[in-house]
Structure 1
Amino acid sequence: MIDDFAKDYLHTDLREIRDTVLRKLDGLSEYDVRRPLTSTGTNLLGLVKHLAVAESRYFGEVFGRPSPEPVPRWDDLDRRGTDMWATEHETREEVVDRYRRVWAHSDATIAALAVDSPGHVPWWPRPDVVLFTVLVHVLTETNRHAGHADVLREQLDGEVDAARRDAAFWADRRAEVERAARAADRRHGS
């Protein structure tokens, strides 16, 4: 009974966070979803593309259920990192649609397998896993990148989901945090 509960709980959370990631693209121009916003080139559409590749691997080949989507081999060092950004030839719609198709394949894998079904992750130090382990890992990874997407979106246009507060609230909060940082610097020195 706990196995079904755990699987359903994690799967529900994964579905919700996937939607959250895609909402970060809403209302932005092609340039804004693609432009590098960190020194490493991190961008919103690249996060979506990366998550599609990761899910394809984890809920596909790890469980002997290869994704119908083409996925670069995990050990192809020449391709490493190319899933973190979209080329000018890849449309936003293609990247988003690919991610949604990957969801369908991942969801089918999750539904078909028991939470203790064995899998093999050759790029992990302890490669023998079960579905539960992979569900936790993918949920964690997706949440991590959703956090990145939150920060990137806020950098672009100030959009935040947190409690749907208005701009004045966030301006006051930022000023309060700035005051505390300056006071701590004076008090503790750097």
Structure 2
Amino acid sequence: MDDFKDHLITYLSRSRQAVLWKAEGLSDAEVTRPMVGSGTNILGVIQHLASVEYGYFVQCLGFTITDERYAALEADPEPSADMWVPAEISRQEIMDFYQRAITAADANIAALPLEAPATVPWWRPETRQTTLGRLLLHMNVENSRHAGHLDIVRELIDGSTGLLKENTNIPPYDATEWKELQQKILSASQSR
């Protein structure tokens, strides 16, 4: 089981790295700009992920969250408060919030076995009682899903894309080759 826990932690760590990479090299305006109709923006997603790291790996495991940013988000009556960052809150504050959440999460994950009990009050009643193992699976999916969102958002901002900084996992095309591929795909789409 320790091997499986190590695998879950490794994948979670990689998706966290991917999320952080998507913000690198962008201005404050670029990381907060809503790029799609839902308002999805890079810094807002990072704030959201900090909040859910605390929620699942601290609160649901029976520990108390003392983070002021987390408390402010929890007290905000707006349902989407965790998905965007008001102008008066700095980018660095959100990046620090995410790091604090990861540190707290990692400490609890390391201290507990996969079978450790957890309660998720916002899940359906029949699934609320669960384990750390299930929370790790859930958060791997949550982080990967949002890393994918951020990959598209980053591509919309400056054209960069890829899985991880050290391994983009995409063909090494130049701008002309990407344009040709896009045209080929568009042509196929229009021929349907």
TM bin (shorter chain): 0.7 to 0.9
Judge conservation of contact 1:33–1:44 (CA < 8 Å) in 2.
yes
**1:178 alignment partner AA:** Q
The 10-residue stretch of structure 1 (67-76 or 115-124) with the greater mean CA deviation from structure 2: 67-76
Q: How does 1:24-173 map onto structure 2 within 5 Å?
A: 24-70=22-68, 71-72=70-71, 78-125=77-124, 126-161=127-162, 162-163=168-169, 166=172, 168=174, 171-173=176-178
User: Structure 2: how far apart are the matches of 1:116 and 1:96?
Assistant: 31
Root-mean-square deviation (Å):
2.2
- 4+ residue segments displaced more than 3 Å: 72-77, 163-167
Give the direction of change, closer, same or farther, for the CA distance of 1:174–1:128 in structure 2 (3 Å limit).
farther
User: Structure 1: how far apart are the matches of 2:123 and 2:80?
Assistant: 18
TM-score, normalised on structure 1? Answer: 0.88
Offset of residue 72 of structure 1 = 4.7
Unmatched segments (≥5 aa) in structure 1 = none
Offset of residue 163 of structure 1 = 3.9
Give the direction of change, closer, same or farther, for the CA distance of 1:86–1:73 in structure 2 (3 Å limit).
closer
Unmatched segments (≥5 aa) in structure 2 = 163-167
Offset of residue 160 of structure 1 = 1.9
Give the direction of change, closer, same or farther, for the CA distance of 1:185–1:165 in structure 2 (3 Å limit).
closer
TM-score, normalised on structure 2? Answer: 0.87
**1:111 alignment partner AA:** A
Judge conservation of contact 1:116–1:131 (CA < 8 Å) in 2.
yes
**1:143 alignment partner AA:** S
Question: Could you give the per-residue CA deviations for residues 114-155 of structure 1, whole angstroms, max 9, x where no partner exists?
Answer: 100111001111101100000000111001000011111111
Identity among equivalent positions (%) equals 34
**1:107 alignment partner AA:** D
**2:93 alignment partner AA:** E
Question: Could you give the per-residue CA deviations for residues 80-128 of structure 1, whole angstroms, max 9, x where no partner exists?
Answer: 2100011111111110011001111000110111100111001111101
User: Structure 2: how far apart are the matches of 1:4 and 1:13?
Assistant: 14
Give the direction of change, closer, same or farther, for the CA distance of 1:171–1:152 in structure 2 (3 Å limit).
farther
